[in-house]
Structure 1
Amino acid sequence: MTAHMFLGMIAPIGIVLGAPITLALRTLPQGRNSTERGVRGSLISALHSRLGRFYTNPLIALAIFDGSLFALYFTSLFGGMMQSHVGHFFMNFHFILAGTLFFYVVVGIDPNPRKIPHLVRMVILLAAMSIHAFFSVALMSSTTLIDQGYFASLKTPWLLDLLADQNKGGAIGWAMGEIPILLALVATFIQWMRDDSREANRIDKNTARMAAMGQPDELAQYNQYLSELAKKEKDVR
């Protein structure tokens, strides 16, 4: 459980905040001519393709991120994949891929084919936190082993109570899973405040520039228009 939480929760945050897509777009070679896309052009096309837009849908990313936990731990899939090195490798690869996709959508600083409002991102993070807490509590309170056949085949003499160890794994998953999502919530809120500050500065600079050029300020005109509408509505009443 500890390894899965690191792969699915902690490592992906570091990956997406490192802006790997931006790095790739700056370093990958372009096409030799206008008809050849090159590696960089192929990456841009993949980002803005229908498949790219599908997987960057916040609900899809959330379903893959949290749904994978239920699909793996509460079905026979867990034991089947753990019994082979190839299956275990793909399971770990899926965890880090699902986590990277989710955190790319909600806190990533790379170019995203979807413009997702910060409020929506925070709602998705809160939903992920709730679903993950439900999964962890279900694992902590479970009275049956996930895959009794697999764990019994390990024959670990130092681990006599497999069910107690499984319940402990649920507690570890809860603790290690909630903290990264909480940090992502804080990061999203900070991004929201910074974006609002940049937008306010942009509007102020545009207003000052328009005033210096002697041109009407569109924002001021719009606010005046709203004030006049409100005044007329008040007079009618």
Structure 2
Amino acid sequence: MATVAIVEPLPEFNLSAVWTEWGVAPLPLVLTVWGVGLYALGVATLRRRGDAWPIGRTLAFMIGMAAFYFVTSSGIAAYDEVLLSVHMVQHMVLSMIVPLSLALGAPVTLALRTLPPAPRRWLLFVVHSRLAKVLSFPPLAFGLYVLSPWALYFTGWYDASLSSAYVHEMMHVHLVAVGAIFFWPIVGVDPLPGRVSHPFRVLLTVLTLPFHAFLGVTIMGQVTLLGAEHYLALREGPMGSWLPDPFKDQELAGGILWGAGDLVGIVFFIALFAQWVRSSMQEAKREDRRLDRLERQQRLAAAATDPVPGAERSE
């Protein structure tokens, strides 16, 4: 029998509670402060030596870190063990929005351009290690990404996260990590293994959409309550006066997973398609320059072998 976690009584959930029920979670706070601080230091280092760094990458990384801290420390985090629907919002942000934004921020590229030689060598060793190559292998990354949510909600893992603060925090880390393993080689610009052609990246993106939809529909139609012991125990406490019917909340959670998965997947597809178009245009420019160089070389070679203009051949 699972142990039911003690949850501090909270007021009825609404949009106002998202902004008023903030807490201080040590792990998200440390990760956010260090992540933002090191990234900002890298950008400042580049600018001091006169190098440019795209503002779009900085914005993407900061959005990712802000989203991570928001859903792990705001009212979303306060209610994620009270309402499955709120937990599902947190799940989608951590597994899709945060990894996608961080990948677009290209932190590995920034680190390689600013780190001293010794740390840079260690980072390159990790990036090109066998473990990195295995984890970024596209079929494996795809399998981890689409199967992890099924394992979370249809094994004892989710119940364990509701009864253990440690498992709960590690679940957050897992969602971000698995999302990063999937998104980084596909949409990121960092020099990571596992990079495949743009058509194959688009195919992988399209394939993720039905998995989220199917999981969401499955949760909506469940006749068994996820985390039943935990959520039913909450209804016996002081929050029972405002808590919604757990099955209706579970149905809402499935709908959030379905709809948000498709919405973020479409945004991801647009970003990937834009990268594909930009890459094609850059490749076309490189090919034009190569043809121009070849044409100049041919003209020079022809000029070297032709007679001097105006000269007459002596009899």
Q: Same fold (TM over 0.5)?
A: yes
Secondary structure, aligned partner of 1:195: helix
**Counterpart for residue 28 of structure 1:** 115
TM-superposed CA distance for 1:154, in Å, is 2.3
Once residues 247 and 196 of structure 2 are traced to their aligned partners in structure 1, the CA distance between those partners, rounded to angstroms, is 42
Residues 46-94 of structure 1: CA distance to partner in whole angstroms, max 9, x if unpaired?
Answer: 1111111111111111112121100011112101122111111001111
Once residues 100 and 220 of structure 2 are traced to their aligned partners in structure 1, the CA distance between those partners, rounded to angstroms, is 26
**Counterpart for residue 140 of structure 1:** 220
The AA in structure 2 aligned to 1:212 is R
Q: TM-score, normalised by structure 2?
A: 0.63
**Counterpart for residue 204 of structure 1:** 288
The AA in structure 2 aligned to 1:165 is D
TM-superposed CA distance for 1:215, in Å, is 7.0
Secondary structure, aligned partner of 2:209: helix
* Residues 1:188 and 2:272 aligned together: yes
Secondary structure, aligned partner of 1:109: coil
Give the unaligned 5+ runs of structure 2. 1-87, 301-315
Matches within 5 A, 1:29-108: 29-31=116-118, 39-108=119-188
Structure with max Cα Rg: 2
Q: Out of 68-77 and 186-195, give the one that drifted further.
A: 186-195
Contact 1:61 1:105 survives alignment (8 Å): no
Once residues 192 and 252 of structure 2 are traced to their aligned partners in structure 1, the CA distance between those partners, rounded to angstroms, is 38
Q: TM-score, normalised by structure 1?
A: 0.83
Once residues 27 and 199 of structure 1 are traced to their aligned partners in structure 2, the CA distance between those partners, rounded to angstroms, is 27
Contact 1:71 1:77 survives alignment (8 Å): yes
**Counterpart for residue 260 of structure 2:** 176
Once residues 287 and 257 of structure 2 are traced to their aligned partners in structure 1, the CA distance between those partners, rounded to angstroms, is 45
* Residues 1:152 and 2:232 aligned together: yes
How many equivalent residue pairs? 209
Identity of aligned residues (%): 35
Q: Which has the higher contact order (CA 8 A, sep 6+)?
A: 1
4+ residue runs over 3 A deviation? none
* Residues 1:162 and 2:249 aligned together: no
1:17 aligned residue (104, 119, 122): 104
The AA in structure 2 aligned to 1:26 is R
Give the unaligned 5+ runs of structure 1. 32-38, 217-237
TM-superposed CA distance for 1:5, in Å, is 0.9
Q: Out of 149-158 and 177-186, give the one that drifted further.
A: 149-158
TM-superposed CA distance for 1:151, in Å, is 1.5
The AA in structure 2 aligned to 1:135 is L
